[in-house]
Structure 1
Amino acid sequence: MSGEPSAAADFYDAAYRSAGERGARWRELGAAGKADHVERLLRVRPDQLVEIGCGDGALLAELGRRDAARSLHGFDVSEEAVRAARRRGLRSVDVFDGQRVPVADDAFDVAVLSHVLEHVADPVALLREAARTAPTIIVEVPLERSLSGRRRSRQALSENAGHMHTFGRAAVRRMVDTAGLRLGADLMDPLPAAVHLFFAETPGARVAARVRSAVRRGVFAASPALAARLFTLHYACVCTRP
């Protein structure tokens, strides 16, 4: 996928159209864990929260159900995604060009970049832009610099999803530092069993998915560092301006 904003908008418009209801259910499934991470890292309910790269609003809607902020806002490059977000009842969701959020400095208390930075050509620039809009930024990315992440099948899935970068924890730290921000609290989490089960369509596949999830959670409980080397984890952190 090209890094040009117009190409990204076209790519994601097509992706949201083709994914249909199944894609919406997949994003809703993932939103629960992502909302857990936002709440765990924030601890205090903000007044104004924006999600930059909000997609179809699945995470914003979940945060709204939890009353995680007084006011929720979102921006995305895809008009198709923004329309879907508005169908969820999210009123303050708009299209942006993927580079500059059309708001004043410090318009929000918290900006969320959840599974977005791996999709953009210049993640440091977008992280800086998020920091312009809010003093606190929540970042979440998949840690794909792992044994399972290097499999050709996994790499193909990531490319088809529009991933332009792969991250490990050290790469996230460098990105945050390059953006001129401070890294605060962070967390890692293996994918929940429901994620593995989502694509399991036969009894045998469902058994295999449960076993895979149990093994990964067991390894993670014993050694998070080893788990990060072996398979994909989700990593979330708080970033603040100096």
Structure 2
Amino acid sequence: MNQSEISSNLKSVYDQQYAQADTRWRDIGARQKAENIIKLCKKYNFDKLLDVGAGDGAVLKELDKHHFVKELSAVEISNSGIEKINSRQLASLKEVKLFDGYSIPYADKTFPLATCSHVIEHVEHPRILLREIARVSTYQFFEIPIDFSLFVDQKIEHFLSYGHINIYTPALFKFLLKSEGFEILDESFMFLSDEVVDFMMKDWKQRLIYKTKVFFLKNSSLRRVKPNAYAVLCRHQGHDIKIF
């Protein structure tokens, strides 16, 4: 297998990922993800964007609803995801294309902004995808979940069940980006919204414990180490990885 190709077993899983997916859960999570994109990117007044790994289009739906840009485009490896995106009939969506997970079918610097939200943790060869995203865009927005803990190796089955094959802290993700030539322009350390917490945690005691923990995290330096998610706006500086 060529290193720039997605493994066949992963391709088959993701191809039908959204055929019978829980769209309510994805729609709830997408609201916060779209808000994070708008928060970090709104001052730049982008007129169009490419969403890389658009899934079932839940984030695209929110960006369309907020009239964030005039023109949305997307690439996705899953046929079932593309079907879901097209079924949404989004007014600002120009097109969605199937891609192989690495080679993005657009010319250099086609888009002023590329977004890639909760995708990199699923990617076998993240540096290859990062380079393609940098190639087709001027600015880049990334968001990843922060799954790291001191005992993350003891929860491997849990994370693999979500398809998370890469684990990051905010600092480790920034190291990856900077080593690939990305300049960090802005960043955000996020915790779950009340809507997401209420959906995920039905027991009030569980919600209280979580919200208490978040209160202390938000008011300490640990908020930059162990948030629920980390988002960053970048601009690639135009050079390849440099070592020695």
Q: Following TM superposition, where does structure 1 have runs of at least 4 consecutive aligned residues deviating by more than 4 angstroms? A: none
Unpaired runs of 5+ residues, structure 1, are none
- 1:144 Cα deviation after fit: 1.4
CA contact (8 A) 1:145 1:232 kept: no
Q: Contact (CA 8 Å) 1:192, 1:213: kept in 2 or not? A: no
Q: State the TM-score, normalizing by the size of structure 1.
A: 0.87
- Cα separation, partners in 2 of 1:16 and 1:65, compared to 1, 3 Å: same
Q: Distance in 2 between matches of 1:73 and 1:164?
A: 26
Residue correspondence of structure 1 range 128-167 to structure 2 within 5 A: 128-146=131-149, 150=152, 152=154, 155-167=156-168
Tell me the residue number matched to 1:237.
Answer: 232
Secondary structure of 2:16's partner? helix
Q: Percent identity?
A: 29
Work out the number of aligned pairs and report it: 230
- Contact 2:118–2:143 (8 Å) recurs in 1: yes
Task: Give the counterpart letter for 2:159 in structure 1.
Answer: S
Structure 1 residue matching 2:75: 3-state secondary structure: strand
| Structure 1 residue 16 displacement after superposition | 2.0
Please list, as runs of the form range in 1=range in 2, the aligned pairs for 1:10-29 lying within 5 A after superposition. 10-19=12-21, 23-29=22-28
Letter matched to residue 134 of structure 2:
A
CA contact under 8 A between 2:191 and 2:227: conserved in structure 1?
yes
Matched residue, 1:178:
179
Trace 1:92-111 onto structure 2 (pairs within 5 A): 92-111=95-114
- Give the superposition deviation at 1:13: 2.5
1:210 lines up with 2:211 in the alignment: no
Deviation per CA, 1:83-121: give whole Å up to 9, x if none: 011111145112101111101111111000100000001
- Unmatched 5+ residue regions in structure 2? 238-244
C-alpha RMSD over aligned residues: 2.1
C-alpha distance in structure 2 between counterparts of 1:15 and 1:219, whole Å: 36
Cα distance 1:94–1:212, how it changes in 2: closer, same or farther (>3 A)?
Answer: farther
Greater shift in the superposed pair: 124-133 or 190-199? 190-199
Counterpart position of 2:56 = 56
Measure the CA separation in 2 of the matches of 1:134 and 1:5.
26
Distance in 2 of aligned mates of 1:28 and 1:213: 22
Aligned-residue offset at 1:178: 2.3
Deviation, 1:180, is 1.5
SS in 1 for 2:207: helix
Q: Alpha-carbon deviation of 1:18? A: 4.3
| Structure 2 contact 16–79 (Cα < 8 Å) conserved | no
Q: Name whichever of 125-134 and 5-14 sits farther off.
A: 5-14
User: In the TM superposition, what whole-angstrom CA distance separates every residue of 1:120-144 from its partner, at most 9, and x where no partner exists?
Assistant: 0111111111111111000000111
Contact 1:193 1:210 in 2 (8 A): no
Aligned residue for 1:99, secondary structure, equals coil
Residues 1:222 and 1:211: Cα distance change in structure 2 (over 3 Å) = same
Q: Where do 1:33-112 residues align within 5 Å?
A: 33-42=32-41, 43-90=43-90, 91=93, 92-112=95-115
Looking at structure 2, the residues matched to 45 and 199 of structure 1 have their Cα atoms a distance apart, in angstroms, of 34
Distance in 2, Cα, partners of 1:25 & 1:11: 20
Question: Higher helix share goes to which structure?
Answer: 1
Is the 8 Å Cα contact of residues 31 and 58 (structure 1) preserved in structure 2?
yes
TM-score (norm 2): 0.86
Q: 2:222 maps to which residue?
A: 226
